[in-house]
Amino acid sequence: MSRLDPDKQARLMIRKPLVSDVEAIRELINDSAELGKMLFRPAAELYEHLRDFHVYEQDGRVVGCCALHVYWKDLAEVKSLAVESQLRGKGIGKTLVRAALEEAGRLGVGRVFALTLETKFFENLGFERVDFDALPLKVWTDCVKCPRKDCCDETALIYSLSQDVSTT
Ligand SMILES: CC(C)(COP(=O)(O)OP(=O)(O)OC[C@H]1O[C@@H](n2cnc3c(N)ncnc32)[C@H](O)[C@@H]1OP(=O)(O)O)[C@@H](O)C(=O)NCCC(=O)NCCS
């Protein structure tokens, strides 16, 4: 499989979603959730939080998604990141996370965190590991509802927007 190169070309396919994209987003997330990679998100929740998302469209199909959820004036989360399995390793995930970081920058959010099993992927993008105690608001919202809260195997990572969020 060839990589999407250059990144500028890839960015042209990034866009904010329409309500008609919810079913494709739900399938992307739930396919990975079935493998234990992320949490399921019901359609109702996706409609409610649709404006958090960017989607990646290729040949008229949504093949990747990523949400940025703002928690507080200085903290947001990158969540619900998924790329269609056959299209992984082409830079789509990286492009989606960078779009979320750019949006955080536009909103004035200083730090963006991720809770993930894909530690290396996020470290490659400049995220740094932190202790869960650094994320008090997150712990009191999503984590208390998570079925894996007593056996959490995810790593917490944070990206500081004072770093250069370069997309070139
Ligand atoms: C994690 C995921 C989104 C990555 O998307 P992707 O499009 O395959 O990733 P990219 O092609 O943009 O990879 C970007 C870089 O990270 C690396 N990378 C990707 N997945 C990786 C992994 N699992 N472990 C280590 N490195 C990884 C790539 O090699 C690439 O490195 P490079 O820039 O040096 O070439 C995708 O594998 C996926 O959808 N996984 C299932 C759902 C999931 O786990 N989501 C994360 C929930 S927080």
What pLDDT does residue 2 have? 47
In a domain, 155, yes or no: yes
Is 70 exceeded by the pLDDT of residue 3?
no
Q: What average pLDDT does range 75-85 have in this prediction?
A: 96
Within-domain flag for 19: yes
Range with the poorest average pLDDT among 27-31, 99-103, 130-134, 135-139: 135-139
The mean pLDDT of 8-33, rounded to a whole number, is 88
- The answer to whether residue 23 is domain-embedded is yes
In the chain, the DSSP E strands lie at: 14-15, 53-58, 61-72, 75-83, 111-116, 128-130, 155-160
**Backbone angles phi and psi of 4, in degrees to 5:** -75, 115
Asked if residue 84 belongs to a domain, the reply is yes
Query: Residue 147: which domain range?
Result: 7-160
Mean pLDDT for all residues in the chain: 88
What CATH number should be reported for the domain holding residue 85?
3.40.630.30
36 lines ligand 1 (CB under 6 A): no
Within-domain flag for 64: yes
User: Is 1 among the domain residues?
Assistant: no
The whole-angstrom separation of Cα 44 and Cα 47 is 5
When divided into structural domains, the chain yields a total of 1
Residues in the chain: 168
pTM (predicted TM-score)? 0.89
In this structure, is residue 168 part of a structural domain? no
Distances (CA, A) of 3 to 13, 17, 82, 131: 14, 24, 17, 34
pLDDT above 60: residue 27: yes
Task: For ligand 1, pick from 13, 39, 83, 148 the residue to mutate: most ligand atoms within 8 Å of CB.
Answer: 83
